[in-house]
Amino acid sequence: MLNYIWFALMIIAIIVGAINGTLTEVTNAAVDSAAVAVEIALGLIGIMAMWLGIMKIAEKGGLIKILARGIRPVARYIFPEIPDGHPAIGAMMMNITANWLGLGNAATPLGLKAMDELQSLNPVKDTASNSQITFLAINTASITFIPMTVIAVRAELGSANPFEIISTGIFASTCACITAITASRLLQKLPGSHKTDPMLNQTTVKEEKND
């Protein structure tokens, strides 16, 4: 779908540029923007490599396990289907930590690992479980304490104070995360949703009776 959207935007830009007689400006803007995109991407390599290395060290040093134990009371409420000590908790913690630091690209492979661990607990393999849906909501609207990627982009583009977005970012991302978790929990109560017994780790599907 995104490919179609980008293709449509390019066609519209070319058509409008041809109608207005500014096709040369459109071409120049496309070339200049491509060059700026490469410069920004190269500028992000350093900070991404640094934080990914720090997270790998934290994982090997056991910090992730400590953090996972710290959030276990909260995780037990949000993800009642996950047994204590399951690898899914640690995998989700790594993903959430990456999102806390605003490292969206680094969080993606960690999120895929967490989803794979959650899938091992899902008895209905062709349907996302409540835990998977809730985790996806948290991952998409995660709280961001230090938006490092955005800060790096702002610094690369010459911002006078690239760190000034931290407070507003924390407020906005916290509101988004609370809304996402609330919506996920409420939607789980709808007819047809999966109901999981956290003690037996079994899922039964609540089906509506057809008249």
Q: What is the pLDDT of residues 18-48, one digit of tens each?
A: 898 888 888 888 888 888 888 877 777 776 6
| Degrees to nearest 5, angle at CA 140 with 142 and 39 | 90
Q: Is residue 112 in a domain? A: yes
- Reduce the DSSP state of residue 146 to 3 states and report it: coil
Q: Is residue 67 in a domain? A: yes
Per DSSP, which regions of the chain are E strands? 194-197, 202-205
Q: Which domain holds residue 87?
A: 47-205
Least confident of 57-61, 123-127, 184-188: 57-61
CB 75 within 8 A of CB 88: no
Q: Is residue 148 in a domain? A: yes
Predicted TM-score (pTM) of this structure:
0.62
Q: Is residue 114 in a domain? A: yes
Please determine, for residue 202, whether its predicted confidence score (pLDDT) is greater than 60: no
Q: Is residue 14 in a domain? A: no
Please determine, for residue 15, whether its predicted confidence score (pLDDT) is greater than 80: yes
Q: Is residue 26 in a domain? A: no
Total of domains in the chain? 1
Largest CA distance in the chain: 69
Backbone angles phi, psi at 146, to 5 degrees: -130, 95
Q: Is residue 38 in a domain? A: no
- Tell me the average pLDDT of the chain: 79
In whole angstroms, what is the distance from residue 35 CA to residue 43 CA? 12
